[in-house]
Amino acid sequence: MSANIYQQINEITQAIKRHSSIRPQVGIILGSGLGSLAAEATDAVEIPYTNIPHFHGTSVEGHAGKMILGTFHGVPTVFLQGRFHLYEGYSMDEVVLPTRVICALGIHTVVLTNAAGGINTRYRPGDLMLINDHLNLMGDNPLKGPNLAKLGPRFPDLSEAYSKTCLDVLSSCAEELSMPVHSGVYGGLLGPTYETPAEVRMLRTLGADAVGMSTVPESIAANHLGVRVAGVSCITNLAAGLSPRKLSHQEVIENSRLGVEKLHSLMTLAIPRLVKTKSVADVPNRAHALTENNP
Ligand code: HPA
């Protein structure tokens, strides 16, 4: 199984390098309804997932299913417009393959974005939450099974699953933009059902400020590889039981529009600064080491 994943990563990165000469420094994974950020990239090359070996098309509305390589405000960047979720029936290996691939392209920082339900009663639809930690409540872990030693250690440290440096950059950019943002804990659940009100109360007791069905596997896989993670949730709805309204994916997509412009402004200012805070002393990205001798 492990040799297979190394081969897949090699094969995919070689295919991508044939499409674009851009060698990205930053990766941005765009959540439900947040895909439009990639439109700001210049000299962009779009690769539909269906043209990428071992990738699947995306089945969820609001997830386009494209990789875009381009320059985002001066920074070579790779965007993933759409992700694979565990609830779609994919294995954890499949869910984190795109993350591992963009890491193998040489990025040093990945920004994970998502749509999430607000559990913290101060949160409103359209608010942004900088993720400062997560609760893995998915009942699974992408690193389960034999350790892929070329990718990272058996027991990776997750005490800074969301880089403090990145969080500081994002907070100071938000402040400069006079944009109020929250900082909180993301609870990652399997889905695809939204939560019951009792589960939302449980999640609050456990310390979650927002809840969603993604991001946690990607954060774990990137940390395993030695790639810095920043995370931003766009609060699209009050979590179940906190409003009289019933939840729907349609509402999530519609309300993501309330946060997407803020996300654009924040990323425009933050991405070039995130690049400046990367130090050569930081741990190396092991996925890149795996593939960099390939053309
Ligand atoms: N729960 C889980 N996932 C979500 C939600 C929610 O309320 N909103 C957006 N994604």
Residue 295 inside a domain? The answer is no
Rounded Cα gap, residues 40 and 200, in angstroms: 36
Does the Cβ of 78 fall within 6 Å of ligand 1? no
Give the Å distance between the CA of 39 and the centre of ligand 1. Answer: 25
Structural domain contains residue 167 = yes
Tally of domains in the chain: 1
Predicted model pTM: 0.94
Q: Is 292 domain-assigned? A: no
21 catalytic? Reply is no
Indicate whether residue 239 lines ligand 1 (CB < 6 A): yes
CA distance 193 to 109: 31
User: Whole domain around residue 265: which residue ranges?
Assistant: 5-287
Residue at 206 is within a domain: yes
- Flag whether 90 is in a domain: yes
Annotation marks residue 213 as catalytic? yes
Residue 232 is predicted with a pLDDT of 98
Domain assignment of residue 200, yes or no: yes
Q: Look up the CATH number of the domain holding residue 104.
A: 3.40.50.1580
**Has residue 294 been placed in a domain?**
no
Q: pLDDT 10s digit of each residue in the chain, 295 long?
A: 455 999 999 999 999 999 999 999 999 999 877 878 999 999 999 999 999 999 987 666 666 799 999 999 999 999 999 899 999 999 999 999 999 999 999 999 999 999 999 999 999 999 999 999 999 999 999 999 999 998 999 999 999 999 999 999 999 999 999 999 999 999 999 999 999 999 999 999 999 999 999 999 999 999 999 999 999 999 999 999 998 888 888 888 888 888 999 999 999 999 999 999 976 556 567 877 777 655 4
Backbone angles phi, psi at 194, to 5 degrees: -70, 170
Which residues make Cβ contacts (< 8 Å) with residue 26, sequence separation at least 6?
72, 75, 76, 77, 78, 107, 108, 109, 110, 111, 271, 274, 275
Q: Is 147 noted as a catalytic residue in this protein?
A: no
Give me the pLDDT at residue 280, please. Answer: 53
Active site residue 19: no
**293 part of a folded domain:** no
Half-sphere exposure at residue 272, Cβ-oriented, CA atoms within 13 angstroms: 7
* Confidence (pLDDT) at 203: 98
> How far, in Å, from the CA of 48 to the mean position of ligand 1?
26
Q: Ligand 1 centroid vs 247 CA: distance in angstroms?
A: 8
